Structure 1
């Protein structure tokens, strides 16, 4: 984006109080949803009409998708399960209530896999309808990737924000663990669950960070305060490249794209260093799987007890595997998690951020599986901030992503690095179509 061109965020701030502009944002989202939803299937529910927003509110008229794992009092919340079909929560989750207080419009509920685990919903990839959008935040990723929404809420336990964002050509942002209240969000594994965001660009993710993580609504008092709060980096960043024991799973196009992205960043002045990550990544992923299985049994216990026949085979297997894990092994996994989180600054090896691939490659063909989350798993266990930005395209026209990881609590700095990388790589495309899923460059 040209520096002289107003960004989406600065335009949003500058148009505060402009009723026509607020209405136009909503009308544009409605028009795209109506054109694309017959094929895309990103939403479980949308209202027939929308209340006119308070044009003077900070997020006046900003249409936002809310993952169907997150409670909304005025919209059904089924957690991706037939057990809860038609369920109406008594209250909004705090994150939704805050959205409304800021003037944002809850545009609709977006598809989730069953209780944020592997059983897919009907959503397709916005770039190729025969490919998965990823999961578990399938609908939020697809709605942003398709250009319906500039922002959507998701959740991540293993890789459910970063991976689908990469698959759908969106920006994904997973904040540091426990920086946003998870009250009113159906748990999968309480020690791993994060609320996260899908955004049109990194600056929109930074807007979400300012309001929901940093709790700094004053950052958007004016265009000037915003530019000061989310100022560009003064100099190119120092980046540490993370290689993993799982790299043999990478598709050739993802490998080539990652190396090309690193070359672009070096050419732009970044100091890019191959680091020896000072922790066992295979052990980290194993610890995450232990915690996930034990805690999923607790989170979905009531449903498993009363409605086991309505759970998917994926969920039944997850719960049954968790029941076989010894308590000592679970406690050891939690201990490792705490130790690594405490050491997260040291693990960055004097870099401003770590960089890695967000997935094995582009979105796999077929809708029965949501893809491999392994390349997100270490950062979910540590609870550190992670961002993915679009970094290129396969020959078949599917998006690829580039993941940026920071130290625990260093979310704003990580987003600033991600914004710099986004500008250098410049790989974002607009999805231009009506009801088809043909890509137009």
Structure 2
């Protein structure tokens, strides 16, 4: 199936709150698509269909009585299988956690249930959110990866199984799979959505994938309005209603280390899109502070990887080695020699990146960048060199900088290359989540999508 960025996927906002469909009817339409396409897409690890139908019936009754719990009352949502759910196991794509069932809800899942959302199922993740892929395929072409580690969440939205799915990101695991699958997504300011039990990694962030800006914003705000953010952080802030579209006066290009890795056609598609905007554009060479930011972020992926490896090794060092993949064993082995002094130096480098980012705040309304270094690459787990492929779910270099910065990023589906999606991302200063969504809505409405 050939993708074009004018395609509009499944929306909850347009149907249930307007009375076009009841929550139960909407859920049944989702289940029909799952029955038809899940055998190829393989987005889910677990489904709770009986529980979802009961929740949809309750939401239908509330809406018929004019007493919905929130704008997302009755919305089917899928949860990445790194996040705990009381009614389904949390197995984290890892044989060492097979059958693991804490029987409690993560903070964000509890908030979604309080808002009336229907937790339909758990989506495939790469092993422990790292690089060993699961079985999920790209809904636009099953020969290609959907991205990682939020592979199932991205694919479930793009396939029309759910209007919103929750993903997580440490390097590029919300924004990149959304870009590969043609979704909207919000990677919030670090800690903007309460991570519950997943507080051990300093760059881990939870955020929604969806087909519309309205749906992802409603989910983010309903969670944060109930919980705040991570301990010590205020959460995603802004209006409860979707921020109105706002035209930026000036945007600055962010190239970073991903730029040399982007193929010529994908670079041309992004540049054509940028040139079409009725907005002043600054390139890194146009201002020394932008050039300084590029230099500061030039090693963001390596620095973030080493920070995360040091933080994760304490949690994973006791896992049975015969129950984790060769890729995971190699990660643990590589982190074993790092010292606390090494970690402190890495944190200092990350702090310098954040200072360089803060310095460019007066220059532009937002940074704009490709959300991935081209369309989703081919992935064949049976290929002779598959085990040696260091990035079977794609290259996160377009996203590693924003993860290190801890700032909000919104991806929006504006590009197609070779019949597959390629996203554009807008990047703001910390706590500018609402502003980034407002700018993204303007771009999506005002700019012509580019297909090459």
TM-score by length of 1: 0.86
User: Would you identify which runs of 4 or more consecutive aligned residues in structure 1 move more than 6 Å?
Assistant: none
Shift in Å, 1:398: 0.8
Deviations 1:195-250 (A, max 9, x none): 11101122222222322235599xxxxxxx866x62221x4442101122442211
Distance 2:365 2:219 in 1: 21
Q: Is the 8 Å Cα contact of residues 193 and 220 (structure 2) preserved in structure 1? A: no
Instruction: Show the counterpart of 1:399.
Output: 421
Contact map agreement 1:169 1:428 (CA 8 A) in 2 = no
Report whether the alignment pairs 1:384 with 2:420.
no
Q: Which residue of 1 aligns with 2:444?
A: 422
Q: CA deviation at 1:339?
A: 4.3
Residue 334 (structure 2) pairs with residue 312 (structure 1)? no
1:372 aligns with 2:392: no
1:360-401, Cα deviation, whole Å (9 max, x unpaired): 110001144100101100110111001111122223x11111
Matches of 1:101 and 1:164, distance apart in 2: 28
1:240-319 correspondence runs (5 A): 240-265=252-277, 269-275=278-284, 276-279=290-293, 280-303=296-319, 307-319=320-332
Aligned equivalent of 1:180, options 193, 211, 218:
193
Query: Structure 2 CA distance, aligned partners of 1:134 and 1:367?
Result: 13
Question: For residues 378 and 144 of structure 1, what CA distance do their matches in structure 2 show?
Answer: 25
Cα-Cα RMSD: 2.4
Q: Secondary structure at 2:308's aligned position in 1? A: helix
Q: Which moved more, 1:386-395 or 1:278-287?
A: 278-287
| Alpha carbons of structure 1 residues 216 and 299: separation in structure 2 relative to 1, 3 Å | closer
CA contact (8 A) 2:273 2:450 kept: no
Alignment equivalent of 1:198, drawn from 196, 199, 209: 209
Offset, 1:428: 10
SS in 2 for 1:230: coil
- The secondary structure found in structure 2 opposite 1:366 is coil
Matches of 2:248 and 2:351 in 1, distance apart? 31
Please tell me whether the aligned partners of residues 248 and 365 of structure 2 are also in contact (alpha carbons under 8 angstroms): no
C-alpha distance after superposition, 1:328-348 (max 9, x if no partner): 221111123234435543234
SS of match in other structure, 1:239: strand
Give the stretch that moved more between structures: 25-34 or 245-254. 245-254
5+ long unaligned stretches in structure 2: 63-67, 229-238, 285-289, 382-391
Counterpart of 2:234 in structure 1 is none
Structure 2 match to 1:133: 146
Q: Match for residue 409 of structure 1? A: 431
Alignment partners' CA distance in 1, 2:429 and 2:47: 37
- CA distance in structure 1 between the partners assigned to 2:349 and 2:315 by the alignment: 22
* Distance in 2, Cα, partners of 1:214 & 1:337: 29
Displacement, 1:140? 0.3
Q: Name the SS of the counterpart of 1:309 in structure 2.
A: helix
Contact 2:79 2:121 in 1 (8 A): yes
For the structure 1 residues 413 and 216, does the alpha-carbon distance in structure 2 shift closer, same or farther, using more than 3 Å as the test?
farther
Report the CA distance between 1:26 and its aligned residue.
0.6
> What is the rounded CA distance, in whole Å, between the counterparts of 1:230 and 1:341 in structure 2?
26
Q: Does 1:155 align with 2:155?
A: no
TM-aligned CA deviation for residue 409 of structure 1: 1.2
Calculate the TM-score normalised by the size of structure 2.
0.84
Is the 1:278–1:347 contact (alpha carbons within 8 Å) kept by the matching residues of 2? no
1:252 is displaced (CA, Å) by 2.1
- Whether the 8 Å CA contact 1:171–1:389 is kept in 2: the answer is yes
Between stretches 403-412 and 349-358, larger displacement belongs to 349-358
2:212 is equivalent to residue 208 of structure 1: no
| Contact residue 209 and residue 412 of structure 1 kept, 8 A | no
- The answer to whether the 8 A contact 2:257-2:299 is kept is no
Question: Residues of 1 paired with 2:370 and 2:399: CA distance?
Answer: 9
| Alpha-carbon displacement from aligned partner over 1:168-209 (angstroms, at most 9, x marks no partner) | 111121001112222234x6x611101111011222222223
Structure 1, unpaired ranges of 5+: 218-224, 430-441
Per the alignment, residue 40 of structure 2 pairs with 39
Cα distance between partner residues in 2 of 1:375 and 1:138: 17
Q: In structure 2, how many angstroms separate the alpha carbons of the residues matched to 1:37 and 1:11?
A: 23
SS in 2 for 1:133: coil
User: In structure 2, how many angstroms separate the alpha carbons of the residues matched to 1:138 and 1:316?
Assistant: 21
- Tell me, in whole angstroms, the C-alpha distance in 1 between the residues paired with 2:343 and 2:93: 27
Answer whether contact 1:344 1:408 (CA < 8 A) is retained.
Answer: no
